[in-house]
Amino acid sequence: MSAVPPPAISVEGLTKDFLLSVRGYRVRAVDDLTLQVPAGQVFGLLGPNGSGKSTTIKVVLGLIEPTLGRTAIFGVRSAEVRSRLNVGYLPENPNFHRFLSGRELVTFYARVCGVDRARLRDRVDEVIEWVGLKDAASRRLSTYSKGMLQRIGLAQAVVHDPRLLILDEPTAGVDPVGSAEIGELILRLKAQGKTVVLSSHLLAQVEDLCDRIAILNRGRLVLEGGVDDLVTEKGRDALIVRGLDASALGDLRGWLDGRGAELVAVEKPRTTLDRIFREHVAERMQAADAPTAPGPGTEGRPR
């Protein structure tokens, strides 16, 4: 055993070409990517459509073979089946066996993952409740909405209590309220000490969730770092003041000048449309006692 625990995911020099025709025309989906996902963090894999996020994830999960390079999960090569013992995966645009009910689906995956028979029922009910689908658990998946599919997908991903979760665009096509609920679940996973890898092309959304991000473009890594480091503007601070009139503002400006600081801008703080939508719609849903509201034990929502 080495002293340093291996990273949750390591990707070394990964290149993946897809063969497009028999004449050998290829498209390079991932280009010499090197990346490490430290354990215990929420990691955002960002980039425009077609930048190679899903392909990277599939190689890491051993679903497709790399053209060059290697990948590992907790130090175990992706080619080995045992590398997937500690992973839960929610594919992009998830689609599950439509002829099953939500509970049947989660039970199936729990059995595939070898969840103890004695605990099976309890565990399945537990995760279905956790994602807020208790009332829909016996409905066929063909009747589920997009947001519900994402959540049942999350339930099957966590059912065997893996240490790492890989979520490919978990909020794509989901409305802001649903997205916020999924965001909340991700933060709860992080609070439980799980590593979460999250891919998205909606940057604003993941900013609130991720500790670290990597940005891909055309299969190449263009930027990687801690979110706080990346988004805080160094050497600048913002004050939010109530009851500031024009003369006080003049005084403040003079006072700051005297200390060698400069008042760069005075603006009205803005909330986001996203937040307004969420607050209004969520209020109404709670008033209607919507079955999709997240369960108890969730203080606050993501910033």
Ligand X SMILES: Nc1ncnc2c1ncn2[C@@H]1O[C@H](COP(=O)(O)OP(=O)(O)O)[C@@H](O)[C@H]1O
7, 52, 102, 153: residue in contact with other proteins (rule CB under 8 A): 153
31, 32, 92, 184: residue in contact with Mg ion (rule CB under 5 A): 92
91 binds, among ligand X, other proteins, Mg ion, none (CB under 5 to 8 A by kind): other proteins
41, 51, 156, 292: residue in contact with ligand X (rule CB under 6 A): 51
27 binds, among other proteins, ligand X, Mg ion, none (CB under 5 to 8 A by kind): ligand X
The answer to whether residue 66 forms part of the interface with ligand X (CB under 6 A) is: no
The pattern of x and - marking residues 44 through 83 that bind other proteins according to CB under 8 A reads --------------x--xxxxx---------------xx-
Q: Which is nearer to ligand X, 55 or 71 (CB)?
A: 55
The residue range among 51-59, 96-104, 176-184, 223-231 that interacts with Mg ion, by the rule CB under 5 A, is 51-59
DSSP 38: -
User: Would you say 74 and 86 are in contact if contact means Cβ atoms under 8 Å apart?
Assistant: yes
User: Would you say 87 and 162 are in contact if contact means Cβ atoms under 8 Å apart?
Assistant: yes
49 binds, among ligand X, Mg ion, other proteins, none (CB under 5 to 8 A by kind): ligand X
Q: Which is nearer to other proteins, 171 or 205 (CB)?
A: 171
Give the shortest CB-157-to-Mg ion separation in angstroms: 16
The answer to whether residue 29 forms part of the interface with ligand X (CB under 6 A) is: yes
Q: What is the 3-state secondary structure (H, E, C) of the chain?
A: CCCCCCCCEEEEEEEEEEECCCCCCEEEEEEEEEEEECCCCEEEEECCCCCCHHHHHHHHCCCCCCCEEEEEECCEECCCHHHHCCEEEECCCCCCCCCCEHHHHHHHHHHHCCCCHHHHHHHHHHHHHHCCCHHHCCCEHHHCCHHHHHHHHHHHHHCCCCCEEEEECCCCCCCHHHHHHHHHHHHHHHHCCCEEEEEECCHHHHHCCCCEEEEEECCEEEEEEEHHHHHCCCCCCCCCCCCCCHHHHHHHHHHHHHCCCCCCCCCCCCCCHHHHHHHHHHHHHHHCCCCCCCCCCCCCCCC
The answer to whether residue 84 forms part of the interface with ligand X (CB under 6 A) is: no
The residue range among 48-56, 105-113, 123-131, 147-155 that interacts with ligand X, by the rule CB under 6 A, is 48-56
Q: Which amino acid is at 226?
A: G
43, 109, 130, 144: residue in contact with other proteins (rule CB under 8 A): 109
89 binds, among Mg ion, ligand X, other proteins, none (CB under 5 to 8 A by kind): other proteins
Question: Which residues form the interface with ligand X (CB under 6 A)?
Answer: 18, 27, 29, 47, 49-55
Question: Which residues form the interface with other proteins (CB under 8 A)?
Answer: 58, 61-65, 81-82, 84-85, 87, 89, 91, 93-100, 108-109, 111-114, 153, 156, 160, 166
Question: Which residues form the interface with Mg ion (CB under 5 A)?
Answer: 53-54, 92
